[in-house]
Amino acid sequence: MASDTDTPIIAIKGLHKSYGSLEVLKGIDMTAYKGQVVSLIGSSGSGKSTLLRCANLLEDSHQGDILFAGEPVRWKGQGSARKPADAAQVLRIRTQLSMVFQQFNLWSHMTILQNVMEAPVTVLKRNPTEVEELARSLLDKVGIGDKCDAWPAQLSGGQQQRAAIARALAMEPQALLFDEPTSALDPELEQEVVKVIKQLAAEGRTMLLVTHDMRLARDVSSHVVFLHQGLVGEEGPPETLFGNPQTERLRSFLSNTSSV
């Protein structure tokens, strides 16, 4: 476990985000150190996915700081007009924060192998031969090495999500961000993806995980953040949050979700 003196891979301080008059994030503080798995849990509308998208700069936050490996994102403008000031910085940070989405987001016109190879070749300008070797090994790693030449539509949802994880890993990022990676899957297919996520956690990969699956959050996390109405309601190690919740809001949330 990282010590407090280490620089977090991701640090978020006082983050605010609104959609019109709806304030979704109301001043969030959160850190993820190297090798940590930080799970974000909470009811629908609590701000989990918005926080993840702001961390990856897919959404523009309106106030507060985001630091990647100690480097602050530079901004211009204020409030709803705030935008990143340096497009090159945004691109560089995004290449180090690979996102896995709920709905897979594979490119339908590319084979699975091409999907995994695309970003390292086009964004990082890596050698295609080297990238192909890496991509094949990653597809083997997630258990679908035999699907290299298949099209996304020919795969099950679980296989597509595992391909999306391989695609994220191909960028060799400093952190992986998962946005409800199993919620679009049937329970049987969900377990295929859960197995891969647990394997990545065991390897010591830095991950931010938005999930509705409390068992997964308990099993893989080193730190859990409970979001409630746009604020951090409670946070700590999973054994504390799930075993001895300190607030009525968290107790109520856990009692209304599947058993952990």
* 209 falls within a domain: no
Number of compact structural domains in the chain: 1
How confident is the model over 139-171, as pLDDT tens digits? 999 999 999 999 999 999 999 999 999 999 999
* 128 falls within a domain: yes
DSSP state of 7: P
Residue 138 pLDDT grade (very low, low, confident, very high; cuts 50, 70, 90):
very high
Containing structural domain, residue 122: 103-172
* 165 falls within a domain: yes
* 54 falls within a domain: no
Cβ pair 59, 53 in contact under 8 A: yes
* 119 falls within a domain: yes
* 115 falls within a domain: yes
Cβ pair 195, 165 in contact under 8 A: no
DSSP per residue, 119-132: HHHHTS---HHHHH
How confident is the model over 11-32, as pLDDT tens digits? 999 999 999 999 999 999 999 9
Residue 258 pLDDT grade (very low, low, confident, very high; cuts 50, 70, 90):
low
* 124 falls within a domain: yes
How confident is the model over 66-90, as pLDDT tens digits? 999 999 999 999 999 999 999 999 9
* 77 falls within a domain: no
Which structure tokens are listed for 253? 């949330």
Q: What is the CA radius of gyration of the chain?
A: 18
Cβ pair 57, 84 in contact under 8 A: yes
